[in-house]
Amino acid sequence: MSTVSVRYIVDDVDAAIAFYRDRLGFREQMHPDPAFAMLTHGDLRLVLVAPVPADHPGGGSRPMPDGTRQRPGGWNRFMLQVPDLAAAAGELRAAGVRFRNEIVTGVGVRQVMIEDPSGNPVELFEPLRDEARLERR
């Protein structure tokens, strides 16, 4: 049982499910409400929610008490490790996925930022050094 989740606000839950499932290999765990879905990728649990009114039973995407609407976007993101970033990026680009930048080579990783259909960032990275790797070979 994972006790950590990431919640992303999306405009269209169905479109988001298709994106994360078909492009990034997530599995759909549940989609009990048009405004809510839960996906998993390894130990990552991704909760996708569409903004709902204040009286909606689902509490995760209601407006803030001060009225501020929750919305997609920003820069905070989860990261996914891929074995071959250039290949993954090429495939995603060919499928029409939006990129926020070009592949950047840093100290320990090579990384790139893509966007889901609602404009939420996802960072893909390929470790260049063992200490940056998430999975043991």
Q: How many residues in the shown chain lie near another protein by CB under 8 A?
A: 50
Tell me which residue of 26, 16, 122 sits closest to 78, measured CA to CA: 122
Grouping H, G, I as helix, E, B as strand and the rest as coil, residue 133 is: coil
Tell me which residue of 47, 49, 73 sits closest to 63, measured CA to CA: 49
135 near another protein (CB under 8 A): yes
Per CB under 8 A, contacts with another protein among 13-32 are: none
At closest approach, how far in Å is the CB of 22 from another protein? 20
Q: For the stretch 94-124, what's the b/e string if a residue is b when 16 or more beta carbons lie within 10 angstroms of its beta carbon?
A: eeebeeeeebeeeeebbbbbbbbbbebbbbb
How many CA atoms lie less than 13 Å away from 106 in the CB half-sphere? 11
Per CB under 8 A, contacts with another protein among 42-101 are: 42-45, 47, 57-62, 64-65, 70-79, 81, 100-101
At closest approach, how far in Å is the CB of 73 from another protein? 6
At closest approach, how far in Å is the CB of 97 from another protein? 17
Cα–Cα distance for residue pair 17/12, rounded to 1 Å: 9
Q: Which is nearer to another protein, 92 or 112 (CB)?
A: 112
Q: Which residue ranges make up the site for another protein (CB under 8 A)? A: 1-9, 33, 36, 42-45, 47, 57-62, 64-65, 70-79, 81, 100-102, 106-107, 111, 120, 123, 130-136
